Amino acid sequence: MDKRVVANEILLEEAARLMAEGREVTFTPLGNSMLPFIRGGKDSVTLKANPAVKRGDMALVRLEGRYVLHRVIAVDGDRITLMGDGNLSGTESCTLADVLGTVVSVQRNGRDIPAGNGFWWRRIPVFVRRYILAIYRRIL
């Protein structure tokens, strides 16, 4: 398969349009904010529109002209709080209307891995995650 690098603005606008039509989209995200579940530039994700966003979902959202793929850590009415699994602090907030889609599966080394809800990862205290992430980043 031919891999191409496309600017986020172009790729994700098209992905949002396709998901709004009810289609699934697959692309390779960049960055390390979702380690260890998504390895930026290596793993691919498949997303679809999901009006019932819940805690634990990995959601693609549009925030002030940029896009982030982070885990939903809280839903309070129309407000959603997000945090990347690879982030140790700092959250972002948006509304349900900002959510473009949620991750259905992750493709790693030719295998489909169900998206899961990251329950076990969120149960690990942040100070312990810091060491796990440090080791994981050195191994990569």
Residues 6+ apart with CB under 8 A from 17: none
- pTM over cut 0.75: yes
User: Confidence class of residue 36 from pLDDT cuts 50, 70 and 90?
Assistant: confident
pLDDT tens-digit readout, 45-97? 999 998 889 999 999 999 888 899 999 999 999 999 999 988 888 899 999 99
Task: Map out the domains of the chain as residue ranges.
Answer: 8-139
Residue 4 confidence (pLDDT): 67
**What share of the chain in percent tops pLDDT 70?**
94
DSSP state letters, 60-114: EEEETTEEEEEEEEEEETTEEEEE-TT-SS--EEEEGGGEEEEEEEEEETTEEEE
User: Confidence class of residue 140 from pLDDT cuts 50, 70 and 90?
Assistant: low
CA distance 89 to 136: 18
Residue 35 confidence (pLDDT): 86
- Region 128-134 average pLDDT: 89
User: Confidence class of residue 2 from pLDDT cuts 50, 70 and 90?
Assistant: low
User: What CATH code would you report for 8-139?
Assistant: 2.10.109.10
User: Confidence class of residue 118 from pLDDT cuts 50, 70 and 90?
Assistant: confident
